Each structure stands twice: as structure tokens, then as C-alpha cells.
Amino acid sequence: MFLTDEQEQLRKEVRAFAEREIAPHVAEWDEKSEFPSAVVKKLGQMGLMGVFFPEELGGAGMGYVEYVVAIDELSRVDGSVGIIVAAHTSLCTNHIMLAGNGEQRERWIPKLASGEWLGAWGLTEPGSGSDAGGARTTAVRRGDCWVLNGTKTFITNGGHADCAVVLAVTDKEKGTHGGISAFVVEKGARGFRPGKKENKLGLRASDTSELIFENCEVPAEHLVGKEGEGFRDAMRVLDGGRISIAALSVGMGRGALDAAVKYSQERKQFGKTISEFQAIQFKLADMATELEAAWLLTMRAAQMKDKGMRVTRESAMAKLYASEAACRICDEGLQIHGGYGFIKDYPAEKFYRDVRLCPIGEGTSEIQRMVIARELLGKAPSRG
């Protein structure tokens, strides 16, 4: 899939930034589980926190293809930075863009797209992950505000976000079919606070926290979209979000392959570099082929998204294949490093840890297979 000259230039710029501003700090951020606030601000200044939002709303005015290129290049160096940008852009900000009214877009998107504000998106709860319809966080209308109660978990950027788009039950009887609504909750709102920060296997520089709501009063005008249509809108948001995770997967797979190629050309055994052994060559060939296939699926979904086409099946396919392929690539990358792949002096072990989130986040591989099968069999739920 060929990129235009402008897209190739973007790739070069993001890669140079990642090598200069991110690479020297990756190990330290990972070890300390340190959120890279300064880098996130710089990404905002570059326009990378609002790649596909209109220029009149503070975005870069580009498309999903450029967005995929940016996430790919950031994640090639550090998946933590990739997922920070992805959750902020394709989940939080994009939900407001897709479902919000003109006033809401003008109020929040310029702050988010510029990187002045960091966003989070709250769907998952302790008792409802894949079963989003089992959500228990509630929102009850009282006069000119909504009162939220409940807890969200595994929220990327949760502890650092300036605002979050939160899904809550507004009609228990209707459930996902008209009973869930979305709200923008700003940092500092009474009754709203981040909870436990998770101590994770990988992507440790990315903040993953609870969001806690205790009689949290949210102004009525913070309802995003129509009452009861929050779940439907969330599914639309996830179509784009899955492209994000596919790009994240490709980026980490690319980083693991680059590291494996470099190591194989330096490491000597039996009097020659291990890259001269056919066993290693076959591993590298398979890794590169799977990476290219994942890239093509991801770019197809991104191009379709840019054309305004429905991408439910294509984004699920890209996310499913890219995430599982990246896990295999990172596993083989570690194997090529041998014993050195198991220690933190080399990047192989970090890619191996980080990439394992990809077949889980924003819909597990099992959920993606269900989505794809429903689309193939014509049984996809209506969004009408």
C-alpha cells in the first residue's frame, strides 16, 4: 500500500521525533511506570493529538491513513505513547466528534485536538468488559443535571485526563437498546475522581486507572448524543478505535522485527552471524510477511474510513489479524535474541510484554471473530 509523498514525509517526521524524544527514555518510563507528560504536550504541538479532526476545530485536517502512520511510528519506539495518543484521539475526542452537537464540538475538540487537554473514554467496568451491556454505572436526571454513580476500570489516560467521555445506564429496562447514554465529565467535577492506578505487565508508561463517580453532578448539556443512544454511538467509535489498535500492533511488530534483524546481524555463533543461518532467516521472513499483511489490512480499513465507508468488518479483521500477528512477531523476536531476549538490556522483552494488550483491548480477539461472523452472516445488530 503506497503512501503519498506527504504521508511519507509525515512518517519521517514522526519517526525522527520518536527516535529523538521518546527512545532515550523508554526503559526508564517502563521501569518507573512514568507517564510521559512532556512528550504528550509536544505531540499536541505537532498536531498528532488531533490528526484527523478538522482544522477549524484545532485538528491537523488529515485522515485515518495519516493517523495510522503516526500511531505506527510512535509504537515502533514505545507502544505506551502510541496507546496514549490512540485512546485520546480515536475514543474520547472522536466520540464527541461523531455524536456531539456543534456547541459541544466547539467547546471540547479544540482543547483536545491541540493537546491542551488529554482525554479518556470510559466504557469498561469491573463486572462488564466484553459484555458492555452489563454496565452498572448509572446516570439519573435531576433538574438541569445528571447524577452519575459507579466505577469504570482499565481506563487509558484515566489518572491524567482533563475530561472523559463516560457511558452510563439511563434506563435499566432498555439496556443497550436505548438505555445507555454518554456524558462528558471534566476533571475537577464534584464527585468525580481517578481511582486505583493499575500495575501492568506492559505498556507501563501509559496510565491505566479507575474512574470513580460518587453522586457526580454533570450539567445536562454534557450529554453527548441523544439520551439512550450512547451504546450505539460507542460501537461507531469502536470501529475507528479498532483501527487504532491494529496500527498500535503493527508499530510494535515493526519495532520487534527491526530489533531482531539488527541483533541477528551482530550476534555471532559458530564463527558467523546468526543471520546467516537458515533457521533465523526463515523466522525473519515469516515475521516480515505477517507484518506486511497486517499493515495492508490496517491501511485498507483506514482508507475506507477516510472515504466515509462503513468499516465494522474491515476494522475488526485488521484488529484481529494485526494484534495476533504482532504477538507472534514479538515472540519470535524474543526467541531470536535467545537468552538476551529475556533481559531488559535489549528491547525484545518489552515488545513481548507490551504487545500482549493488543488482542485484549477494545474488544478481545474472540469478540472480533463474533463481529466478523455477524457481518458475514448478515446478523449485525441495527444501529438505526
> What pLDDT digit, counting tens, does each position of 273-282 carry?
999 999 999 9
CB 330 within 8 A of CB 355: yes
Average pLDDT over residues 330-349: 98
Q: Side chain identity at 224, as an amino acid letter?
A: V
Confidence (pLDDT) at 380: 66
Confidence (pLDDT) at 107: 98
Inform me whether the pLDDT recorded for 253 exceeds 80.
yes
Confidence (pLDDT) at 134: 81
- pLDDT tens digits, one per residue of 309-318: 999 999 999 9
Give the domain ranges of the chain.
5-118, 120-228, 232-377
- Top-tier CATH class for 120-228: mainly beta
Residue 367 burial class via C-beta count within 10 angstroms: exposed 0-12, middle 13-18, buried 19 and up: buried
Inform me whether the pLDDT recorded for 381 exceeds 80.
no
In 128-166, which positions are buried (b, 16+ CB within 10 angstroms) versus exposed (e)? bbeebeebebbbeeeeebbbbbbbbbbbbbbbbbbbbbb
Q: 232 CB contacts (<8 Å, ≥6 apart)? A: 383
Which pairs count as long-range contacts for 332-336, CB under 8 Å and 24+ apart, including other chains? 332/260, 332/283, 332/286, 332/287, 333/256, 333/257, 333/259, 333/260, 333/287, 334/256, 335/283, 336/260, 336/263, 336/264, 336/274, 336/280, 336/283, 336/284
Inform me whether the pLDDT recorded for 67 exceeds 90.
yes
Residue 240 has, within 13 A of its CA and on its CB side, a CA count of: 26
- pLDDT tens digits, one per residue of 289-322: 999 999 999 999 999 999 999 999 999 999 999 9
Average pLDDT over residues 260-282: 98
In 306-331, which positions are buried (b, 16+ CB within 10 angstroms) versus exposed (e)? beeeebbbbbbbbbbbbbbbbbbbbb
- Top-tier CATH class for 232-377: mainly alpha
Inform me whether the pLDDT recorded for 350 exceeds 90.
yes
Sign of CA dihedral 253, 254, 257, 259: negative
Residues in the chain: 384
Question: What are the Cα distances from residue 94, in Å, to 30, 314, 378?
Answer: 28, 19, 27
CB 62 within 8 A of CB 51: yes
- pLDDT tens digits, one per residue of 214-240: 999 999 999 999 999 999 999 999 999
Question: What are the Cα distances from residue 181, in Å, to 93, 146, 352, 359?
Answer: 16, 11, 37, 27
Measured in degrees and rounded to the nearest 5, phi and psi for residue 181 equal: -130, 160
Inform me whether the pLDDT recorded for 384 exceeds 50.
no
Structurally, at CATH architecture level, domain 5-118 sits in Orthogonal Bundle (1.10)
Q: Scanning the structure block, which residue is given the C-alpha cell 452510563?
A: 168
- pLDDT tens digits, one per residue of 93-149: 999 999 999 999 999 999 999 999 999 999 999 988 888 778 899 999 999 999 999
CA-based radius of gyration for the chain: 21
- Cα separation, 243 vs 258, in Å, equals 22
Question: What are the Cα distances from residue 18, in Å, to 86, 90, 103, 347?
Answer: 15, 20, 35, 15
Where residue 378 falls (left for φ over 0; alpha for ψ -120 to 50; beta otherwise) is: left
Q: Could you tell me where the DSSP H helices lie in 192-311?
A: 230-266, 278-306
Q: Given the residues 349, 362, 366, 375, select the one marked as catalytic.
A: 362
Q: Is 332 a catalytic residue?
A: no
Element (H, E) at 315: helix 312-337
Q: Show the CA angle centred on residue 194, arms to residues 202 and 28, nearest 5°.
A: 35
pTM for the model stands at 0.96
- Cα separation, 213 vs 150, in Å, equals 5
Confidence (pLDDT) at 379: 75
Q: Show the CA angle centred on residue 48, arms to residues 226 and 184, nearest 5°.
A: 25
Average pLDDT over residues 327-354: 98
For the CA atoms of 78, 273, 279, 358, the dihedral, rounded to the nearest 10 degrees, stands at 0
- pLDDT tens digits, one per residue of 5-60: 999 999 999 999 999 999 999 999 999 999 999 999 999 999 999 999 999 999 99
